[in-house]
Structure 1
């Protein structure tokens, strides 16, 4: 996989300018918890979310180990995004992080009890968004009782990552725009889909992105099960499509639900760029084609300047 800035060989970190958003960092106004089945292990998992102080950012706690929701701790990207620190891991974090980033929970303590996964719920981030909206947000304060302005990363020049015919490219823009394309020629009912979003604010995400569910190809299910994956997968937490029979558990929530879910995953993975309660998604026009967690996280590493002209995955 190549990873570089377009038109230049300078480090990607010099392509970012951090600016105030004009709003103060937020956290949860109260605590809540949600339990459910873990997608890959099939075990029960409970997630407890707590308010956190300004500047702490979003972080997981499992077995007394604190794991920041940061690209520095991403260790695996096969069918989900996994964070790990000192041998303790948390899997399938992308849907929860997507909701927190999109709704504006900048600082949050996330405790995981039971399985080492965030529960898959219905395969979307809708229940997380609803729970956050129910408890509400409050201004985050630091240890001295002071509030902090939220910062956002503005892209100064184009950056991209590629892998075979997949790519993720971002161009400077005054606002966040996302264009995403997928292509499954072996599955006619999905085929090629493109989605362009001229807005990515809190209400748009809640109404148009959060309820889009993860999807899988029926003919690939047995292989994944043998590999020890999706042990908790079912028609209740994913939309399943057969190459020959089409959708096996309709109806879809959107005609282009698979493409919308890719945007949901992208927001969750880009949230790993957030630092000290800042915004993770860069202010840019982001264009992705045939992406996944591996491509998304490689792009975040480019943003952090962890690669020079190229990086092999």
Structure 2
């Protein structure tokens, strides 16, 4: 394995990310062994869309192609992150990217071209990252090669100093560590069937696939109509989200885990933190991370902090 001078310069990465140290992980960058795809409804648009995942060369990283425009899966392209993560560039956008990016990051697919047809949104599928994980595992993962046929060493961002962001009673704190550990908390007092939950785990490919990826997105039944009036969740249904009523509890059980809502927040966190990735390197920072009531907006704010976009 080797570094390509065009893409990899540790000093340059240090200058861009003063909060991070980029270190070799003893593995080459990876990509898909062959193409994969899924079609389905877009959660917010309601459109029937297809996402095709294609292998690309080492150093290309992960990026979307929508209407002929290339949109890198990078924090500088995030334009909105209220109820989903939205990327935009060259007048085009792609919505609800977090579950797919979570699966790619969680399984170590560092380089991937994602073509979106039929709309501007990644299909929601069953509301989790499970079907993306299965599609990736079915086609396999292999070493990514550059134009000369060589592999490239993979770098990972290690946190150098403690960092935090907060908004009201929501926060994310990260502490330097030699491994990735996530502790995530949620609190929905208006929905007693959810209530307050915490999920904590060290993260690797196996843990991600079995314990995190299958967790589905969820919503409060009494808030759905308000979201639809705002032009959102047009494609939402009992088949692609867990729905909880404030008075009647879960309307479409059973849950896959007792704390499935909290675990789904970790799916989102992995996908949103993957936007720190540069040139086919690992996106998720190696750190001990504690998040409470964070959500997409705070996830993005924290990644911007680590990337040096905000001080």
State whether structure 2 residue 154 is matched by structure 1 residue 144. no
Distance 1:33 1:187 in 2: 36
- Which residue of structure 1 aligns with residue 292 of structure 2? 289
Distance 2:281 2:29 in 1: 8
- Which residue of structure 1 aligns with residue 232 of structure 2? 229
- Which residue of structure 2 aligns with residue 41 of structure 1? 45
Unpaired runs of at least 5, structure 2: 1-14
Distance 1:241 1:275 in 2: 38
State whether structure 2 residue 169 is matched by structure 1 residue 171. no
**Paired residue secondary structure (1:265):** helix
Unpaired runs of at least 5, structure 1: 1-10, 309-313
Give the alignment partner of residue 269 of structure 2, picking from 244, 266, 269.
266
State the superposition RMSD in angstroms: 1.0
Distance 2:54 2:309 in 1: 31
What is the CA distance between 1:12 and its match in structure 2? 9.3
Give the alignment partner of residue 205 of structure 2, picking from 196, 202, 206.
202
- Which residue of structure 1 aligns with residue 223 of structure 2? 220
Distance 1:206 1:15 in 2: 29
Using structure 1 for the length normalisation, give the TM-score.
0.94
> Counterparts in 2 of 1:90-101, with a 5 A limit?
90-101=94-105
- Which residue of structure 2 aligns with residue 106 of structure 1? 110
Distance 1:259 1:12 in 2: 32
Q: Please give the per-residue CA displacement for 1:141-190, whole angstroms capped at 9, x wherever unaligned.
A: 11121110110000011001101110001000010000000001111111
Using structure 2 for the length normalisation, give the TM-score.
0.94
State whether structure 2 residue 243 is matched by structure 1 residue 240. yes
**Paired residue secondary structure (1:278):** coil
- Which residue of structure 1 aligns with residue 6 of structure 2? none
What is the CA distance between 1:15 and its match in structure 2? 1.9
Which ranges of 4 or more aligned residues in structure 1 deviate by more than 6 Å? none
Distance 2:129 2:19 in 1: 31
Distance 1:261 1:87 in 2: 31
What is the CA distance between 1:32 and its match in structure 2? 1.5
Aligned residues: 297
What is the CA distance between 1:13 and its match in structure 2? 3.0
- Which residue of structure 1 aligns with residue 19 of structure 2? 15
Distance 1:63 1:133 in 2: 28
What is the CA distance between 1:63 and its match in structure 2? 1.0
What is the CA distance between 1:135 and its match in structure 2? 0.3
State whether structure 2 residue 79 is matched by structure 1 residue 75. yes
Q: Please give the per-residue CA displacement for 1:43-94, whole angstroms capped at 9, x wherever unaligned.
A: 1000011001000000000111000000010001121000000110000000
Distance 1:56 1:139 in 2: 13
- Which residue of structure 1 aligns with residue 307 of structure 2? 304
**Paired residue secondary structure (1:14):** coil
Residue 13 of structure 1 contacts residue 302 of structure 1 at CA under 8 Å; is this kept in 2? no
- Which residue of structure 2 aligns with residue 153 of structure 1? 157
